[in-house]
Structure 1
Amino acid sequence: MAEGRIQKALSGFYYVDTGAEVLTCRARGKFRKEGLSPLVGDRVTVRELGNGEGFVESILPRKNAFERPAVANIDQLVVIGSAAIPKTDPFLIDRIAAIAALKGCEVMVLLNKCDLDPAEELYRIYTAAGFPTLRISAETGEGLEELIPLITGKLSAFTGNSGVGKSSILNALDPAFQLKTGEISTALGRGRHTTRHVELFRLSCGAEIMDSPGFSSFETEELNLELKHRLPETFREFAPYLGECQFLDCSHTKEKGCAVREALEAGKIQPSRYQSYLRLFEELKPLREWQEKRK
């Protein structure tokens, strides 16, 4: 028996790095019976069969897990945005940041293509909200030296809308990978999908990176009842004001004496972040009613 981490899952095979070699493994049938699937990032025990093959025998306890993309044990989500083509909607960043907070996962905002547009507004929003925020250019190399210590020694997942430069950044950090990159469609203002599956890469600087498909992969499975109940606490800048409202059950949407809304009016919370909160609140609003009707 050996222990390792799943680097890639593809077509029913799991590629497990044991430190000595990468084994091509199938998973035991018991996982299917238990409704459990091994995920990229999982620490697992494997039974070696020889010739570079094996079976995944057990999944070690997880720090966290995401359903789409199917990954586990993430230390931080690196959400990549851009003010150039394709331009990133702040709501997409905020949606992922809320899900990450629910999972106990740190978030860093990485603004790429700053050689084309410095993304002043996005930079202002997320630095004010307290997120580590860095402007870089995969094309010119600007900011990459500052990025390396922020990802070294951590397992990070890179995500962002298609065409924003995830694979280009990985190539710039470690050219040995030569990941496929896509051209930007000028008609649609978005990139062609080049990342088809989740894969864990180990960079020469010591960082471990998961490259994943774009924002569209974070589907509604993650917008669950727990997020509905805990939504206010997933917005980090709300923290000083939670529990200070006039009403204990304040939703922070329209009630009188709401400390969060007072902070918004005082300029202590960014309007776009609050608008994202309201939008998520509305998305989650019918969730409990639907579940209760099924009971």
Structure 2
Amino acid sequence: MAANPGIKNKIFRERGGSMPLPEGTLQGTILKGIGGFYYVEAADTVYECKARGIFRRHSQKPLAGDQVVIVPAEDGTATIDEILPRKNQLVRPPVANIDQLIITASTCDPVPNPLIIDKMTALAVHKNIQPVVVITKSDLDDGAWLKGIYDLAQIRCVLFSAVSGEGAGEMKELLRNRISAFSGNSGVGKSSLLNRLYGGLQLETGDISQKLGRGRHTTRQVELFKLEGGGYVADTPGFSTVDVERYELIRKEELPQCFPEFEPYLNQCKFTSCAHICEKGCAVLKAVEEGKISKSRHGSYCAMYQEVKDVKEWELK
């Protein structure tokens, strides 16, 4: 008996091939999911979809950002028939297939915390997502000291002001034709940044709470917003280091590779078991002393290493 063409196509796509979809189906991107319904953009139309029960039986949940195959119905709705392989996935916020993680920090109000930023850049590298650091409110402070840290680490860093427009052109080019997720503590100006670049989004913004020194959460669900000129941004609710520490721990053996500026020195240490903390003959420590690696970044690495060095394997599942 001949193999089912739909199954053959599925296997081929999972292996990275490109083959026409089965008749009567479309491939699209999940923009958001609410109450068991998923909104999929396919062929310039957004379909309200239900997922097939087989996904629940296999404990597989469709996520915003997923590439899916849908079967449209005559009434304009559709069914998600297949979830295509993901190139990456974040647990919380639950989103898939991100090209770049935009890590936002403000020059002041709230005061930037390099450790928080470095935890996010490390997560991005670990997940094969391009990290980009955006320093907002540059009209209040130039942020040069903070930018210098990430320039030295060869991590893309942009100074941005929603008031003066500094960095707006660079940000638009960065976001074009990519799926980008935004992270950062509340109050750093994520929504203000997007509203400045794309006024049509009209995202809700929150004022800084002077009493608490932090902003109020204004975003409540992961949703992909389509951008003028191509690309999507994922507005993510409460994306913070709390989620990184709880859901996205990085093994101590993998942590050095999550700091790109360490890479030229990792095979030059005297001992192969070097943790790059305080060991004699450590090439990374020598690079720090010579100013080739930022002391701030190395300090963040040491703090993160201490947090995970005693974590058991089962805790990482």
User: Do they fold alike, i.e. is TM over 0.5?
Assistant: yes
Deviation at 1:88, TM superposition (A): 2.2
Deviations 1:51-106 (A, max 9, x none): 33222111111111111111111111111111211122111111111111111111
Report what 2:126 is aligned to.
102
Give secondary structure in 1 for the equivalent of 2:174: helix
1:23-42 map, 5 Å: 23-42=47-66
Deviation at 1:229, TM superposition (A): 2.2
Query: Conserved in 2, the CA contact under 8 Å of 1:22 and 1:52?
Result: no
Deviation at 1:289, TM superposition (A): 5.9
Query: Conserved in 1, the CA contact under 8 Å of 2:123 and 2:244?
Result: no
Report what 1:199 is aligned to.
223
Report what 1:271 is aligned to.
295
Report what 2:171 is aligned to.
147
Query: Conserved in 2, the CA contact under 8 Å of 1:88 and 1:161?
Result: no
Counterpart amino acid of 2:145? E
Task: Give the TM-score taking structure 2 as reference length.
Answer: 0.87
| 1:175 maps to which of 199, 206, 219 | 199
Deviation at 1:218, TM superposition (A): 3.2
1:20-169 map, 5 Å: 20-169=44-193
Q: Structure 2 vs 1, CA of residues 175 and 33 (structure 1 numbering), >3 Å: closer, same or farther?
A: same
Report what 1:190 is aligned to.
214
Unaligned runs of 5+ in 2: 1-24
Q: Structure 2 vs 1, CA of residues 51 and 228 (structure 1 numbering), >3 Å: closer, same or farther?
A: farther
| 1:248 maps to which of 258, 263, 272 | 272
Counterpart amino acid of 2:135? L
Deviation at 1:205, TM superposition (A): 2.7
Structure 2 CA distance for aligned equivalents of residues 105 and 262 of structure 1: 28
Q: Structure 2 vs 1, CA of residues 197 and 289 (structure 1 numbering), >3 Å: closer, same or farther?
A: closer
Deviation at 1:20, TM superposition (A): 2.9
Query: Conserved in 2, the CA contact under 8 Å of 1:246 and 1:258?
Result: yes
Counterpart amino acid of 1:223? L
Structure 1 CA distance for aligned equivalents of residues 299 and 76 of structure 2: 52
Report what 1:222 is aligned to.
248
Report what 2:18 is aligned to.
none
Deviations 1:167-196 (A, max 9, x none): 111111111111111111111121110111
Query: Conserved in 1, the CA contact under 8 Å of 2:30 and 2:65?
Result: yes
Greater RCO, CA 8 A, separation 6+: 1
Deviation at 1:12, TM superposition (A): 2.0
Query: Conserved in 1, the CA contact under 8 Å of 2:160 and 2:168?
Result: yes
Q: Structure 2 vs 1, CA of residues 92 and 291 (structure 1 numbering), >3 Å: closer, same or farther?
A: closer
Counterpart amino acid of 1:276? S
Report what 2:306 is aligned to.
282
| Structure 1 stretches of at least 4 aligned residues deviating more than 6 Å after TM superposition | none
Query: Conserved in 1, the CA contact under 8 Å of 2:29 and 2:68?
Result: yes
Instruction: Calculate percent identity across the aligned residue pairs.
Output: 46
Structure 2 CA distance for aligned equivalents of residues 110 and 59 of structure 1: 32
Report what 2:8 is aligned to.
none
Query: Conserved in 2, the CA contact under 8 Å of 1:100 and 1:107?
Result: yes
Structure 2 CA distance for aligned equivalents of residues 218 and 281 of structure 1: 14
Bigger Cα Rg: 2
Counterpart amino acid of 2:246? T
Q: Structure 2 vs 1, CA of residues 120 and 200 (structure 1 numbering), >3 Å: closer, same or farther?
A: same
Q: Would you say how many aligned residue pairs link Structure 1 and Structure 2?
A: 291
Query: Conserved in 2, the CA contact under 8 Å of 1:68 and 1:219?
Result: no
Task: Give the TM-score taking structure 1 as reference length.
Answer: 0.94
Report what 2:17 is aligned to.
none
Deviations 1:249-276 (A, max 9, x none): 1111121111111111111111111111
